[in-house]
Structure formats: C-alpha cells, structure tokens
C-alpha cells in the first residue's frame, strides 16, 4: 500500500502523536505530518513535515493544497479539536473523504452547536451566550440556578464551572475571562469575546465513541463514567466499557447521538459525544468531530486487535475495515487527576499499581519538574491507568485499587 500519501495534523502539544503514527506505519502509507510549529519528529524526512497555522483553517488549507500539487494526498486526518476544522477545510478543497467544513466548524463553537441541536429538536440544556465585556452582576440576573458556565471553544472540561447562585456565577465568570487571556490559550473571534451559560442537567454521564460513514453512525463503544460529575469543576476520571445501562437506554443514547450528528451535518469520520441521562431521557452535552482524547483510545481494540487509530485512518483512506465490533472483554481507563497546583517532584507506587490483577498498563505522562495546573485552568492529567477484565465492575475496581497504590510528590 506504499505510495498512498496521508496527511496527519498533529499539534505540538497532544497526547495523540504516538498512537496515530504507529497506526499509519502499520498501514504502510507514506506519512506526512503537519504541526503549528516546525516539527521535531525525527522519524520523518524534512519533505514529509509541514508547518500550518491551525488557528486559520482557510489559510492552512490553501497552504496544504499548494503543497499537494506535486505530492497528491489520499486522505487528511486531524487528531483533536484544534485540528479537526483544519482537516475538514483541506479535505473539502481536495475532494477527500470528510464531513463538511461548516459542520465540523459548528462543533467547535458550543453556542453554534447548541443552536443547531435545539433547532432540530435534539434535547440540550437551556443556554445563553454572554459577552465577556458584560457586567457579571447584570449577567447573573438573567440565568436560572444551578447553571454551568463554559468557554465556547475549549475542550477537556477546561474552564467549565458550575454556579449555584449569583456570587458563584460572578466568580466563575471572572475565572473564565482570566483563563481566556492566558498566554497558553489560543482563541479568536467569538470564542475570545463570549462564554456560554447553560442549565445544569443532573444525571448519569456517558461518552459515546462512534464512526460516521455516509451519514450513518456506527457505535464503537459506549463508556460509563461511574464517578459523579456534579461540579463545581468537571474532571473526568474513569471510563468503562461496555456500558452497564439497560439495552433500551443504550439504544436511546445511540439514537440521540445519531440525531445530533445529523442536526450538525456531520457525515464522515470519528465522533466523540458526551451525554447526560436522567428521568427525562438523554441530553446531549457535547459532540466533537474527533476521536476520544488523551491516551484513552488504548482501551479499545476491534476484531483481532485493530486499534481505533487504524480504523480512523482506514476510513479516511476509503480502505476496507474488517469489523467495527469491539473485543468482548470489558476495558477501562482512569485519567489520573492533578490534585493541586505545583511542581511534580516524584512518583511512587507505579510498580505496585501495575501488579494489580486486571491492570494492563500505567503510563505517567507528566514529567518530573513539570508545572501542574489542575482544572478548570489546566487540561492535562498526571497519567493514565488501563485495565481489562471479564466484567465492567471488575475493571472499575482494578482501576480504583491501582490508583490507590500511586502517590505523587507535588512541590
């Protein structure tokens, strides 16, 4: 299959580089990688590296199209929220397989996404966009409590804060405004001028990993999130699949996600959806035109061992996929939360954590000396714990036991 050229869009700060490059190598494609800064990937020749402005999808697409004139591309894949709109813009210009750029763009603006879903009758929280230059006290009088405030464009629960009253609203408003002005946060347009205030929806939370083909949604995995996510911040920890919810409820979650994708105009490629479930049924919180974040995809295996990344690349290339059925065994991941701000000075207990029955791996992704920033300002984790077993309950127990073996010295 050599000679088939595939463009991967890899931000310099992403967890996803290794797994996607490994998948591309397994497929034997000619790999080209683009980053927003000059790449340091030693595995690739200089003429297989591009620098693109991910903040400007139109300009990035023009640059990629110009580059591909003499080196035609068969597919382009963005690996996260930042690169998904750029990949869609490039694919649209080159006639490659992808959702429409406008549809992917709608998923990157939480206000626009809410508007599309509400207009189509998809259950979403009541919402309101508020200008960041508005007086917080005045804005606080126009919402019902409890509510959730969030930036329009950030992901990984960054900047998402629950407010139960006007005082908490004002504090959350100021905190989000300060976050959006940080040097390590790159937002522009409406995302730099507004935030979203929406109704707090109680209930269980799940995540659905899917693949769209010709507008049809194929559910790859439905993850339970057994830890309650009630605020004031919404740090995700444990994901376990298969879901333990009743089949009829799982069907409702799938159909609601499919309706959301249809309302947004998404037709091709990976989707990651977050939903809440209560007595009123499923509610859509987020739909992202990309795969699951962090290293969490390592929980998923398909058929005889195919990775999620290989499925995504095969789909983009239009190559056959033997099966989209996940392996039968239960699997899960724990994203190790950052307990407080500081500097990582030491990690203990990794060997003991790996020795817990059912634990497949423990990856400490934070490095010694790293400045740790917890939610809501931060977006990273200390690492990831992976487990596999006969039952979802057994997997969840293994993750919790393994986490208890770990200790972190934070200076």
In a domain, 361, yes or no: yes
Distance, CA of 161 to CA of 71 (rounded, Å): 46
Residues 20-37: what's their mean pLDDT?
94
For 250-290, how does the pLDDT look when each residue is reduced to its tens digit (9 = 90+)? 999 999 999 999 999 999 999 999 999 999 999 999 999 99
Contacts of 177-185 spanning 24+ positions with Cβ under 8 A: 177/132, 179/151, 179/154, 179/376, 179/377, 180/132, 180/151, 182/377, 185/154
Give residue 336's Cα distance to chain centre. Answer: 16
Which CATH number do you get for residue 18? Answer: 3.40.50.20
Examine the pLDDT at 306 and tell me if it is beyond 60.
yes
Q: Using CA atoms, how far apart are residues 238 and 63, in angstroms rounded to an integer?
A: 40
Q: Residue 131: its pLDDT value, please? A: 97
The total number of structural domains in the chain stands at 3
Whether residue 256 is contained in a domain is answered as no
**Whole-angstrom distance, CA of residue 137 vs CA of residue 201:** 23
User: Alpha-carbon dihedral of residues 368, 362, 155, 139, nearest 10 degrees?
Assistant: -80
* pTM of the full structure: 0.95
- HSE (CB half, 13 Å, CA atoms) of 1? 16
Within a domain: 37: yes
Query: Which among 170, 199, 228 is the end of a domain?
Result: 199
Residue 2: pLDDT above 90?
no
Q: How large is the average pLDDT for residues 194-213?
A: 98
Same domain assignment for residues 30 and 97: yes
- The closest of 307, 337, 130 to 221, measured between CA atoms, is 307
**Model confidence at 1: pLDDT above 50:** no
Give the pLDDT confidence of 62-102 residue by residue, as tens digits: 999 999 998 999 999 999 999 999 999 999 999 999 999 99
Do both 101 and 165 map to the same domain?
Answer: no
Q: How far apart are the first and last CA of the chain?
A: 50
DSSP 95: T
Domain contains 372:
yes
If asked whether residues 137 and 80 sit together in one domain, one would say no
Q: Give the CA-trace dihedral at 220, 225, 231, 234, to 10 degrees.
A: -50
Angle between the N-to-C axes of helices 84-94 and 57-67, in degrees from 0 to 180, rounded to the nearest 10:
50
Give the separation between CA 174 and CA 33, rounded to whole angstroms: 38
Block residue for tokens 């990993």: 209
Average pLDDT over residues 189-217: 97
pLDDT of residue 183: 86
Residue pLDDT, tens place only, 329-348: 999 999 999 999 999 999 99
- Residues 244, 249, 255, 260: is their CA dihedral positive or negative? negative
pLDDT(238) > 90: yes
Are both 81 and 169 inside the same structural domain? no
Q: Per-residue pLDDT averaged across 185-212, rounded? A: 96
Domain assignment present for residue 287? The answer is no
Of 156, 180, 199, the position where a domain reaches its end is 199
Residue 42 is predicted with a pLDDT of: 64
Both 73 and 131 in one domain: the answer is: no
Q: Are residues 142 and 87 in the same domain?
A: no
Could you tell me if residue 310 is inside a domain?
A: no
H/E stretch holding 237 reads none
The residue out of 179, 199, 219 marking a domain boundary is 199
Averaged confidence pLDDT in the chain: 95
Query: What distance in Å separates the CA atoms of residue 377 and residue 154, rounded to the nearest whole number?
Result: 11
Residue whose structure tokens are 């408003």: 173
Asked whether residue 381 is assigned to any structural domain, the reply reads: yes
pLDDT band at 40 (very low <50, low <70, confident <90, very high): low
What span, in angstroms and rounded, lies between the C-alpha atoms of 365 and 377?
18
Tell me which residue range forms the domain holding 56.
5-105
Residue 52 inside a domain? The answer is yes
Residue % of the chain over a pLDDT of 90: 92
């Amino acid at each position: 299959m050599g000679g088939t050229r595939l463009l991967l869009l890899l931000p310099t700060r992403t967890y996803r580089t290794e797994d996607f490059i490994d998948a591309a190598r397994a497929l034997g494609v000619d790999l080209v990688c683009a980053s927003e800064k000059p790449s340091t990937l030693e595995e690739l020749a200089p003429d297989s590296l591009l620098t693109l402005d991910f903040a400007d999808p139109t300009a990035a697409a023009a640059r990629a199209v110009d580059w591909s004139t003499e080196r035609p591309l068969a597919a382009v894949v963005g690996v996260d929220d930042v690169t998904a709109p750029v990949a869609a813009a490039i694919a649209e210009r080159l006639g490659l397989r992808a959702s429409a750029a406008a549809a992917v763009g709608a998923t990157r603006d939480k206000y626009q996404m809410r508007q599309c879903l509400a207009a189509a009758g998809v259950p979403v929280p009541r919402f309101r966009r508020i200008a960041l230059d508005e007086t917080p006290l005045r804005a606080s009088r126009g919402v019902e409590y409890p509510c959730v405030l969030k930036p329009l464009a950030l992901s990984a629960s960054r900047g998402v804060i629950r407010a139960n009253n006007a005082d908490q609203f004002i504090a959350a408003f100021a905190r989000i405004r300060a976050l959006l002005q940080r040097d390590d946060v790159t937002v522009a347009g409406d995302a730099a001028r507004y935030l979203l205030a929406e109704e707090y929806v109680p209930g269980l939370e799940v995540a659905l990993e899917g693949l769209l083909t010709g507008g049809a949604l194929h559910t790859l995995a439905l993850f339970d999130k057994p830890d309650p996510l009630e605020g004031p911040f919404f740090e995700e920890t444990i994901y376990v699949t298969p879901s333990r919810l009743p089949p009829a409820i799982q069907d409702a979650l799938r159909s609601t996600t499919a309706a959301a994708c249809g309302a947004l105009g998404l037709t091709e490629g990976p989707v990651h959806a977050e939903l809440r479930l209560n007595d009123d049924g499923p509610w859509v919180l987020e739909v992202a035109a990309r795969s699951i974040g962090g290293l969490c995809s390592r929980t998923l295996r398909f058929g005889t061992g195919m990775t999620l990344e290989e499925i995504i690349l095969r789909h983009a290339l239009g190559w056959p996929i033997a099966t989209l059925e996940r392996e039968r065994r239960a699997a899960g991941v724990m994203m190790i939360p950052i307990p407080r701000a500081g500097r990582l000075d030491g990690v203990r207990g990794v060997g003991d954590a790996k020795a817990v029955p059912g634990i497949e791996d423990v990856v400490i992704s934070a490095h010694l000396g790293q400045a740790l920033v917890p939610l809501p300002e931060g977006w990273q984790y200390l690492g990831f714990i992976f487990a596999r077993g006969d039952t979802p309950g057994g997997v969840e127990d293994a993750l919790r036991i393994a986490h208890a073996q770990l200790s972190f010295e934070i200076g």
